[in-house]
Each structure stands twice: as C-alpha cells, then as structure tokens.
C-alpha cells in the first residue's frame, strides 16, 4: 500500500517538530510504501537537510510555505473571470455571518459547500492555468474582498474593514492558499497513492483535501494539537476585521477537512473535543495517543529505590506557561512541612522570553530560600537547583526523573504532557496540575491539583513525600499504564489498523489504461467489488435450505 | 487570576453571578474575541478547564465561552490603536535618504569639471574614472533607500542596459546626429563641447543630480500613500486620492529637473536642451517608480522600444549613405533641419514617458500594489 504522508515543518527535515513521531511511524510500518510530501518551515530548516530515510520512503517532495514564486502567468479575460468568481465566493463565505456550531448538529451545509466549491474552483484554476500566487495578490482579489465585506449580510467586524485590513487579509489568504499552486496533484504524484495521511490539520491537510477532490484519495488527519486553536492563540495582533475573516477561513478549512477525512485521529481527548466542536463526526474520530520510546526509561523504571526520597524534580522547557513561580511558592510551603526537601529544576529556555523567565525564577528562588549548609564549616547550597540536561549526572531525561522521588508538573497550559509520560515510564509518583491532557494521561496513577494553586500543589507533594509506600504504588501503576497506552508500538499498530480499515472501506478505484493510453474495458471485473474472496472455490453465502447437504465450515460462515 | 478556587469559595452558590466575575476578569479577551472559540482558546490558555467550567454550571469550556461571548457588550468597545510603525532605524534611514541619492550627482558634476580641466590622455582616464564612479554610486543609490525595489529583481535586466543606452545618447547622440547629417563624423569625440563630435554634458549632470529629488519624491509618495491607505474607507476612495497626488509629485519632479538642467547648462556654458532632458528624466523616473512597486514588465518594454526607435533612426541616417538608399535619411533630415537634432530624443522619450505616465496612474492607485511585503523569516 502506498501512503502519501503530508507533513509541515517536520518529518524529513532535521530537528523538525513532530519529526520523531513520523520517523517512528514510517520505520514501524515497513510493509507499506511512503511518499513524503513536506512543507518546510523556513529557510534555515531547508539548509539543515534531511534525516536519514528508510528504504520504504520511495519519494520525497518538498515545497516551501514561507515563500512563493510568482510563475509570471498573467491571466486572460476568461481566467480572470473564473478567478474572480471563485475568490469572490470564498470571500463571501468568509464574510457571511456565522451561526454557532453546536455539537451534535451539522454546521450549515450550504455554507460549507460554498467554501468547498470555492476552494476547489481555485485549485482547479491553479492546476489548469497556474499564476494563482500573483492573482491572489492582485487588485481583482482585493476588490472581491471589498465587495464581500460591503455586502448587506456580512458580519459586523467584516463590514468595518478598512483598506489596510483588506490588504492584510489578501496577503494572509495568499500565504494560506499556497498549497493550491503546487505541482503535486498529478496522476503520478498524489494521484498515485492509496491513502493520504496528513500529520497535522490546517494547511498541512490542504493537499490531502485536494487529492481527495481530484482523485478520490481517502484522507486521514492526525492532529496532536488542533491547528485552529493554535491559530487563535498565535493570532497576529491585527484589527478585528482581519482576525474575524482569518478565523472564519481557518474554521471553515478545519470543518471541511474533518468533513472530507475518512478518519480523524486526535492525539488526546482535549484535541478530540476541539475537533468535535469544529464539526468532526464522532464516528470518524479515533483517539491515538502519541507513542514514546520506553527503552531509555526502562532502567530507571525497574529500580524505583534509586531515588532520593527528599527530592522533587521538575523537567521541561522553561517558559512562562510552565508557571515555575507557582512551583517555587508551593515549594516554600513544602519546606515549612518538610524542611529537608530539595527541588531540582531541570531544563533550559528556548527563546528570549524563556531566558528572561528563567532569570526571574532564579532571583525568586534566591529570595525565597537562603543557601543552607550541613554544618558551620561546609559550603552551603540553595535547596532549589537549576540545571540543564547534559550537565554532570544528567545525561538523559531518565537520569533527571530517576534522581527524585516525586515529579512535579506545574503548567497552566499544556497540550499532551510528554514529560509527565516520561516520568510515568520511570515509575515515579507525580503531582501535576489539571491542564490540557494531563488527567487523561495520568489516569488515576498520580495526584492532580488545580492550576495556579500553590497550596494544593504543596499539600499533594507533602502527602507523597511522607508516604513512601504510596509513592511506590502510584509509580508502579503509572509505569504499567504508560507501557500499555503510550508506547511507540501501540501508536504504530493503531495506525496500521486504521490504514487497513480506510483502504478496505474506501478503496481508490483507478481506471486502468492499456499500452496506448486508452481505458482498458473490463480490467476490473464487477466481482472485484464483492466483499470477501470471490475466487474462493467454496460457495460463501449459501442459503440455509441449500446448505443442508453441503456442510460449510464454521470459520467460513463466521467470516 | 490566582484564585479560581477562592472565587468559588468566596461567592455563595446562587447568591451572585459567578460568570460576571469571570467576565470582568477576562474583559479584554472577551471584548476583542471575534467568535466564541477564540474565547474558549483564551480561557484554556488561562488554565480554565472543563472541570472549572462545571463550577460555572456549564458543561464545558465551549458553552462557558459562548455565554461570555453573548454577554459581553462589544458596541462601546473602543477601537484599538493601530500598531505603531517602527521608527527604530530612522537615523540610518535618514542618512540613506539624504546622502546616497546625492552621491551620483556630486560625482557626475565633479567628473564634468575634471573633464574641463584635463587634456589629452589624462582626459580619457578622467572620463573612464568618472563613468565608473557614477555607475557605482547610482548602483548604491538604487539598492538602498526609497528608490530600491521592494521585491527582488534580476541583477542584469535588459532595462538597465537600455537605460545606459538612453543616457549615452543624451551625452553623444545630438552631436553625432548633427555631424552625421552633414556627412561626419570624422573622428571620435574629444570630450569637449566644441569639437567635431561635441559632447552635451549638462543634461547628463542634471539627470545625475536629479537622483536626489527622485528619491525624495519617491519617499514622500510612499509616506503619503501609507497615510491615505490608513485613512481611506474603500478602494475607490484610495485610488481617487492617490491619483492627483501622483501627478502632482511627477510635475514637481519635472520642475526640479528643469531648474537643474537650466542651472547646469548655464554653469557649463552649454546650449540649453530643456525638452529632451525633461522627457528623458520623466521617463526614467516613472520607470523606476513602477519598478519599485514590482511592475517590471512595462518599464522594460517601454525602455526597449524607446532605445530601439533611437537606434533605428540613427541607422537610417547611416544606411542612407549606401548607394540608392538616399530616401531613408529624408525623415530624420527633415526633422533635424526644421527643428533641431534634439527633436529625436524629445519625441521618442516624450511619447514613452506619456505612455508610462498613463500606465502609472492606472497601476499605482491600486491598493493591491501596496500589500505589505512578507516579513523575512
């Protein structure tokens, strides 16, 4: 089976986000053939090159989303009219007042259809004529947007759009619709795969959507973080008109993707709720937890006694969303109850904001906790230590988790808590805040407290620090749970099953051609569409009255 | 924000409206949100989960967000100020704006003076050095500052070489035409205005000097257009306000060129060639203006056609010397006799700049021309 894997800023590139997961998937499903269709994130990523690819990856197509080349095609009268019609339709849908989608009910189908039709119209235009990049930035496009915004039925924010807003929306839409101009939608490109697997929603799934339209290729969408939500959180600081039109575009795109997809696999219940909210059918949703490699944590997991019983560990990337301040305040409370306790904060910032935050936390720690020493003649140290992975005795995250008796997670925002799962693999008792998919990941195998509540966090930690038996029990349960749910093997086998199910349900029917390129009549006989082995010598479905004297094996009837 | 639990405990159930307190706390988020999902995403980012939402008697964050969205009044929400444009590099930009476009003019004037003062072989070297210096300065002025193109354009386009031809024609063409009509030229130009093949240096110096007003005009145009963009309500409004601005600035530029060429002609003691210089100056300015805004095709075609027309005219004059082809030279000879040798560049460049002016007044008032360029990543 040939899988078209659609990625963005990820897989074949070194250090791409989500690249590790795709790599494991591709290596795990070595019976299938993979064609990778990748969008690169930026120029630095393109220069960094690819990871080594296994032999089952037969082809890699890449395209940049961060830049677009104008192919110099200038539309004639007819093409311009076609473009104006479709773009106008798209703009009209985006400007139309939206009715709230309530879960369980179908979104307004006519609007969704109009969006889909406009998108397809633009894609077909790009395939037939090219030149879409220039057209999307042209006066025709801006005028169509203006017309749509001034239509009587338009939503309020759109009606207030000024000229700079229109230009900004046009520029954003041009960027968003770049996948339409790619040369991937050919018979020997995305037309040749049996299944498109988009590794993220949003623009990454757009080629899959078009492949579905052009060739009827079934689409599978995996979302670990919902793109629409990311769009809302990282929205540019623009005027309400711009934000409202772009939110409408991304919302409609998500709804259309979920509508066309054969299956949607959210990475956790949190993503699943968002997808349901955006119009994904409940029957199409299959939660597939991300898989993580358990091997590096096996040693720490098998020897829970190695941990220092008075140490708390926090591991992660330092950033404000992790709320280390709250953790430090909680630790102050813990120290009142259990004076000998130490806190290890292991991690480093990844951006300037994180660096500033780390400095702030260090200052706060120095202020809250004076250095302390064992006796009058020894050098003291702060009970809170800030360390980085790769430091002495901390080669891997496993070492960090292994060094403490309790792992703490104090985030206020979290997607799927990978660090928490690693702690579970290490069989460590955990105390975490109730955010994102934490409760879902931890199940009942750790303590969960409300976010931004240092006292509750402190109480939970103290109760665990005082009770070694409970720690051991929770740790063992956590490890068992992680090994069952969050391993690479379960992830890969879930996808293997879903692939087979999709291909069995919605096989791609291709017209077979003979040597001269004419359609070959009767190349696929009608029996090919009959479920089961039609070449099987024994008659499969035999009426009861006829089966009297020819006994059919039980396995056959059961099939 | 630290006390969702405290909020729960401090408000007796049923007594007050807990959602109101929440609404008050997230007023900014709720007022600026364009749909309930945005509020939901924002609430989640503030640590509100479905379990928190249950305290507000809601099934999940989404329905809580919907209530917030419905309850917040957006009517009196003050429009947020537009993001301030960055003025961080204003100092450097001003240097580029003032000094760089003046450089070609200064160098060209210096070369013209040096040509007057030197003789013989030294004059050849001076001329070569002057041409090189002016070319480099021009290159620098076009690469940075208001005359630089927003999008990447190919380094060696045919437009550049045809521009060189047009300027070379201004320098040498009139003299060549004058001698050619009378059967010359008998030798190469000697670098003076008095020889057999005289040079007309004054228009070229004026054109080089006009780089600075061109840059300033382009800068003013960009600033004004930005302001009009912010203030206009619709695309028609915008176009209607930009078109007169464009024509006024073009007229201003032509006026500056006229003053410059009059001054240089007087200083260098050369006959005044006002119409041809104005035509060429206008043509080059409009071509650059279009190139800045990403329209490279039209300037290229027009410049090529103009240069080709001049080249053909000269070619007919020399081809007429072949036996039996006398008639070829008649049009140009008539033109030169009844007007002056400057008629040829005036007519060609004038027609070309008129065409480009029409094109510019159609293209630049389009708002799509001013879509902000993509931030580099």
Stretch 352-371 of chain B: residues touching chain A, C-beta under 8 Å: 366-371
Same structural domain, A113 and A133: yes
Q: Which domain CATH number covers A174?
A: 3.40.50.2000
Same structural domain, A216 and A315: no
Which of A43, A170, A456 minimises the CB distance to B371? Answer: A170
- Tell me whether A435 touches chain B (CB under 8 Å): yes
For B239, name the nearest residue in chain A, comparing CA atoms only.
A163
Q: State the count of interchain CB pairs (< 8 A) between A and B.
A: 117
Same structural domain, A177 and A71: yes
Which residue matches tokens 């104005």?
B278
Residue (of B189, B211, B213, B241) closest to B366 by Cα position: B241
Which residue matches tokens 């003062």?
B117
Does the distance separating the beta carbons of A233 and B42 come in below 8 Å?
yes
Whole-number Cα distances in Å, A359 to A324, A366, A408, B307: 11, 11, 20, 65
A121 CB-contact burial (10 Å; exposed 0-12 / middle 13-18 / buried 19+)? middle
- Tell me whether A54 touches chain B (CB under 8 Å): no
- Going by pLDDT thresholds of 50, 70 and 90, the confidence category of residue A528 is low
Helices (H), A417-542: 418-425, 438-442, 454-465, 468-485, 488-505
pLDDT of residue B376: 54
Which of A43, A175, A232 minimises the CB distance to B37? Answer: A232
**Least confident range of A139-153, A368-382, B33-47:** A368-382
Q: Report, as an integer, the average pLDDT of A94-120.
A: 71
Residue (of A229, A243, A246) closest to A91 by Cα position: A246
Same structural domain, A203 and A331: no
Q: Which residue range forms the structural domain that includes residue A536?
A: 517-559
- Tell me whether A526 touches chain B (CB under 8 Å): no
- Greatest mean pLDDT among A510-514, A543-547, B16-20, B53-57 lies in B53-57
Residues of chain A contacting residue B38, judged by C-beta atoms under 8 Å apart? 232, 235, 243, 247
- Going by pLDDT thresholds of 50, 70 and 90, the confidence category of residue A110 is confident
Contacts of B107 (CB under 8 A, 6+ apart): B130, B133, B134, B137, B208
pLDDT tens track for A420-450: 999 999 998 999 998 878 888 898 899 999 8
Please tell me which residue, B335 or A343, carries the higher pLDDT value. Answer: A343
- Going by pLDDT thresholds of 50, 70 and 90, the confidence category of residue B305 is very high
Radius of gyration of chain A (CA): 28
Q: Report, as an integer, the average pLDDT of B108-124.
A: 84
CA distance between the termini of chain A: 23
Tally of structural domains, chain A:
3
Q: Report, as an integer, the average pLDDT of A531-547.
A: 52
Residues of chain B contacting residue A142, judged by C-beta atoms under 8 Å apart? 235, 366-368, 371
For A156, name the nearest residue in chain B, comparing CA atoms only.
B34
pLDDT tens track for A471-482: 999 999 999 999
**Whole-angstrom Cα distance, residue A481 to residue A442?**
8
Residues of chain A contacting residue B36, judged by C-beta atoms under 8 Å apart? 100
The Cα of B47 is separated from the nearest Cα of chain A by a number of Å equal to 5
The Cα of A204 is separated from the nearest Cα of chain B by a number of Å equal to 19
Is the full-model pTM beyond 0.90?
Answer: no
pLDDT tens track for B271-299: 888 888 999 999 999 999 998 888 888 88
Q: Which helix (H) or strand (E) holds A249?
A: helix A240-260
pLDDT of residue B193: 61
What ipTM does the predicted assembly reach?
Answer: 0.80
Q: What token pair was written down for A56? A: 């089952």
Q: Report, as an integer, the average pLDDT of A211-234.
A: 87
Q: Please determine, for residue B351, whether its predicted confidence score (pLDDT) is greater than 90.
A: yes
Q: Report, as an integer, the average pLDDT of A398-414.
A: 87
pLDDT of residue A530: 59
Residue A221 β-bridge partners: A198, A264
CB atoms within 10 A of CB A23: 19
Same structural domain, A271 and A376: no
pLDDT of residue A257: 92
Same structural domain, A467 and A537: no
Same structural domain, A213 and A337: no
pLDDT of residue A88: 92
Does the distance separating the beta carbons of A142 and B232 come in below 8 Å?
no
- Going by pLDDT thresholds of 50, 70 and 90, the confidence category of residue B30 is confident
pLDDT tens track for A47-94: 888 888 888 888 888 888 887 777 777 888 898 999 999 999 999 988
- Tell me whether B264 touches chain A (CB under 8 Å): no
Residue A34 β-bridge partners: A3, A57
Q: Report, as an integer, the average pLDDT of B342-361.
A: 90
User: A500-535 in b/e burial notation, b at 16+ Cβ within 10 A?
Assistant: eebbeebebeeeeeeeeeeeeeeeeeeeeeeeeeee
Q: Please determine, for residue A104, whether its predicted confidence score (pLDDT) is greater than 50.
A: no
pLDDT tens track for B144-167: 777 777 666 655 577 788 888 888
Same structural domain, A453 and A465: yes
**Least confident range of A104-118, A219-233, A451-465:** A104-118
Stretch 107-136 of chain A: residues touching chain B, C-beta under 8 Å: none
pLDDT tens track for A286-301: 988 888 888 888 888 8
The Cα of B286 is separated from the nearest Cα of chain A by a number of Å equal to 21
SS3 content of chain A, % helix, strand, coil (to 5): 50, 15, 35
Same structural domain, A525 and A499: no
Q: What token pair was written down for A78? A: 């007819």
Same structural domain, A325 and A428: yes
Please tell me which residue, B352 or A521, carries the higher pLDDT value. Answer: B352
**Least confident range of A270-274, A369-373, B178-182:** B178-182
Same structural domain, A219 and A338: no
Same structural domain, A478 and A493: no
Stretch 50-89 of chain B: residues touching chain A, C-beta under 8 Å: 50-52, 60, 62, 66, 79-80, 82-83
Residue A35 β-bridge partners: A4, A59
Stretch 184-243 of chain A: residues touching chain B, C-beta under 8 Å: 228-229, 232-233, 235, 237, 239-240, 243
Does the distance separating the beta carbons of B234 and A146 come in below 8 Å?
yes
- Tell me whether B32 touches chain A (CB under 8 Å): yes
Stretch 233-262 of chain B: residues touching chain A, C-beta under 8 Å: 233-235, 237-238
Q: Which helix (H) or strand (E) holds A89?
A: helix A77-95
Q: Please determine, for residue B347, whether its predicted confidence score (pLDDT) is greater than 70.
A: yes
- Tell me whether A257 touches chain B (CB under 8 Å): no
pLDDT of residue B89: 52
Provide φ and ψ at A288, rounded to 5°. -120, 110
- Tell me whether B46 touches chain A (CB under 8 Å): yes
Q: What is the mean pLDDT of chain B?
A: 81
Contact predicate A118/A144, CB 8 Å: no
Please tell me which residue, A104 or A289, carries the higher pLDDT value. Answer: A289
Question: In degrees to the nearest 10, what's the CA dihedral of A121, A125, A127, A131?
Answer: -140
Q: Please determine, for residue A508, whether its predicted confidence score (pLDDT) is greater than 90.
A: no
**Whole-angstrom Cα distance, residue A411 to residue B47?**
9
Does the distance separating the beta carbons of B367 and A453 come in below 8 Å?
no
- Going by pLDDT thresholds of 50, 70 and 90, the confidence category of residue B249 is very high
Contact predicate A254/A202, CB 8 Å: yes
Which of B230, B237, B368 minimises the CB distance to A139? Answer: B368
Q: What is the mean pLDDT of chain A?
A: 83
Whole-number Cα distances in Å, A78 to A82, A85, A129, A357, B366: 6, 11, 11, 57, 21
- Going by pLDDT thresholds of 50, 70 and 90, the confidence category of residue A363 is very high
Does the distance separating the beta carbons of A175 and B372 come in below 8 Å?
no
- Tell me whether A268 touches chain B (CB under 8 Å): no
pLDDT tens track for B169-224: 888 877 787 777 777 776 676 666 666 777 788 888 899 999 889 988 998 898 89
- Tell me whether B330 touches chain A (CB under 8 Å): no
**Whole-angstrom Cα distance, residue B299 to residue B291?**
7
For A45, name the nearest residue in chain B, comparing CA atoms only.
B377
Does the distance separating the beta carbons of A163 and B235 come in below 8 Å?
yes
Provide φ and ψ at A35, rounded to 5°. -110, 120
Write a three-state SS string for chain B.
CCCHHHHHHHCCCCCCCHHHHHHHHCHHHHHHCCCHHHHHHHHHHCCCCHHHHHHCCCCCHHHHHHHHHHHCCCCCCCCCCCCCCCCCCHHHHHHHHHHCCHHHHHHHHHHHHHHHHCCHHHHHHHHHHHHHHHHHHHHHHHHCHHHCCCCCCCCCCHHHHHHHHHHHHHHHHHHHHHHHHCCCCCCCCCCCCCCCCCCCHHHHHHHHHCHHHHHHHHHHHHHHHHHHHHHCCCHHHHHHHHHHHHHHHHHHHHHHHHHHHHHHHHHHCCCCCHHHHHHHHHHHHHHHHHHHCCCCHHHHHHHHHHHHHHHHHHHHHHHCCCCCCHHHHHHHHHHHHHCCCCHHHHHHHHHHHHHHHHHHHHHCCCHHHHCCCCCCC
Q: Report, as an integer, the average pLDDT of B36-60.
A: 85
Residues of chain B contacting residue A240, judged by C-beta atoms under 8 Å apart? 32, 34
Q: Identify from B25, B41, B43, B76 which residue to disrupt to test chain A contact, counting A C-beta atoms within 10 A and taking the largest count.
A: B41
CB atoms within 10 A of CB A293: 13
Residues of chain A contacting residue B229, judged by C-beta atoms under 8 Å apart? 163-164, 167
């Amino acid at each position: 089976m040939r899988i078209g894997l659609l990625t963005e800023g990820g897989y074949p590139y070194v250090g791409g986000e989500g690249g590790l997961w795709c790599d494991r998937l591709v290596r795990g499903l070595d019976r299938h053939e993979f064609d990778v269709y990748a969008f690169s994130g930026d120029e630095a990523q393109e220069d960094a090159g690819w990871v080594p690819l296994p032999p089952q990856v037969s082809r890699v197509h890449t395209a940049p989303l961060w830049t677009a080349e104008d192919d110099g095609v200038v539309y004639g009268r007819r093409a311009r009219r076609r473009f104006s019609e479709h773009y106008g339709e798209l703009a009209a849908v985006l400007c139309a007042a939206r009715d709230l989608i309530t879960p369980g009910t179908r979104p307004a189908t006519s609007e969704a259809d109009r969006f889909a039709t406009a998108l397809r119209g633009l894609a077909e235009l790009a395939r037939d004529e090219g030149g879409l990049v220039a057209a999307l930035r042209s006066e025709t496009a801006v005028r169509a947007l203006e017309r749509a915004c001034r239509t009587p039925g338009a939503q309020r924010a759109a009606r207030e759009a000024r000229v700079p807003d229109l230009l900004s929306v046009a520029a954003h839409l041009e960027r968003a619709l770049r996948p339409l101009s790619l040369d991937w939608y050919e018979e020997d490109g995305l037309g040749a795969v049996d299944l498109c697997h988009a590794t993220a929603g949003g623009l990454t799934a757009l080629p899959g959507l078009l492949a579905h339209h052009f060739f009827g290729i079934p689409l599978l969408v995996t979302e670990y973080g919902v793109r629409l939500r990311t769009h809302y959180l990282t929205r540019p600081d623009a005027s309400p008109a711009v934000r409202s039109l772009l939110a409408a575009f991304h919302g409609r795109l998500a709804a259309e993707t979920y509508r066309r997809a054969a299956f949607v696999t959210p990475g956790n219940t949190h993503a699943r709720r968002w997808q349901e909210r955006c119009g994904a059918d409940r029957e199409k949703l299959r939660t597939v937890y991300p898989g993580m490699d358990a091997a590096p944590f096996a040693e720490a997991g098998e020897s829970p006694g190695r941990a220092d019983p008075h140490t708390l560990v926090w591991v992660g990337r330092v950033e404000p969303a992790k709320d280390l301040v709250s953790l430090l305040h909680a630790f102050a409370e813990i120290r009142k109850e259990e004076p000998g306790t130490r806190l290890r904060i292991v991690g480093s910032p990844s951006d300037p904001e994180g660096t500033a935050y780390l400095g702030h936390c260090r200052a706060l720690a120095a202020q809250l906790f004076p250095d302390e020493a064992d006796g009058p003649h020894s050098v003291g140290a702060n009970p809170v230590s800030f360390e980085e992975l790769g430091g002495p005795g901390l080669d891997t995250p496993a070492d960090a988790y292994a060094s403490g008796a309790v792992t703490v997670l104090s985030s206020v925002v979290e997607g799927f808590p990978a660090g928490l799962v690693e702690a579970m693999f290490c069989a460590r008792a955990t105390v975490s805040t109730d955010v994102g998919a934490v409760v879902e990941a931890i199940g009942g195998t750790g303590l969960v407290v409300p976010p931004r509540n240092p006292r509750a966090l402190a109480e939970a930690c103290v109760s665990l620090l005082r009770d070694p038996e409970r720690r051991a029990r929770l740790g063992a349960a956590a490890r068992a749970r992680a090994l069952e749910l969050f391993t690479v093997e379960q992830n890969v086998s879930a996808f293997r099953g879903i692939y087979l199910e999709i291909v069995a349900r919605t096989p791609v029917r291709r017209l077979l051609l003979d040597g001269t390129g004419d359609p070959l009549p009767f190349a696929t006989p009608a029996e090919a569409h009959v479920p089961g082995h039609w070449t099987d010598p024994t008659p499969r479905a035999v009426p009861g009255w006829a089966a009297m004297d020819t006994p059919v094996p039980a396995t056959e009837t059961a099939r | 924000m630290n006390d969702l639990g405290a909020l729960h405990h401090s408000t007796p159930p049923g007594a007050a409206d807990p959602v109101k307190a929440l609404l008050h706390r997230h007023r900014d988020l709720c007022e600026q949100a364009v749909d309930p999902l945005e509020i939901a995403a924002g609430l989640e980012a503030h640590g509100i989960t479905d379990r928190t939402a249950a305290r507000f008697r809601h099934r999940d964050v989404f329905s809580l967000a919907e209530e917030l969205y419905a309850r917040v009044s957006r009517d009196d929400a003050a429009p947020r100020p537009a993001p301030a444009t960055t003025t961080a590099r204003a100092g450097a930009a001003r240097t580029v704006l003032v000094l760089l476009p003046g450089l070609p003019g200064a160098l060209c004037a210096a070369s013209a003076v040096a040509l007057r003062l030197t003789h013989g072989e030294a004059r050849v070297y001076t001329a070569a050095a002057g041409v090189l210096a002016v070319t480099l300065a021009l290159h620098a002025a076009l690469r940075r500052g208001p005359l630089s193109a927003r999008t990447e354009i190919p380094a060696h386009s045919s437009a550049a070489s045809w521009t060189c031809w047009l300027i070379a024609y201004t320098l040498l063409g009139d003299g060549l035409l004058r001698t050619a009509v009378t059967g010359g030229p008998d030798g190469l130009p000697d670098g003076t205005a008095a020889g057999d093949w005289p040079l007309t240096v004054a228009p070229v110096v004026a054109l080089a000097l006009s780089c600075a007003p061109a840059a300033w005009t382009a800068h003013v145009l960009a600033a004004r257009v930005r302001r009009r963009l912010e203030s206009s309500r619709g695309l028609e409004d915008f176009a209607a306000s930009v078109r007169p601005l464009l024509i006024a600035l073009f007229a201003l530029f032509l006026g500056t060129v006229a003053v410059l060429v009059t001054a240089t002609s007087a200083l260098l003691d050369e006959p005044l060639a006002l119409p041809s210089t104005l035509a060429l100056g206008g043509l080059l300015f409009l071509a650059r203006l279009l190139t800045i805004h990403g329209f490279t095709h039209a300037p290229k075609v027009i410049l090529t056609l103009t240069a080709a027309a001049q080249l053909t005219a000269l070619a007919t004059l020399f081809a007429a010397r072949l036996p039996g082809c006398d008639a070829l030279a008649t049009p140009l000879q008539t033109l030169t006799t009844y007007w002056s040798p400057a008629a040829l560049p005036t007519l060609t460049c004038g027609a070309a700049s008129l065409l480009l002016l029409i094109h510019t007044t159609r293209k630049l008032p389009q708002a799509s021309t001013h879509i902000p360029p993509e931030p580099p990543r």
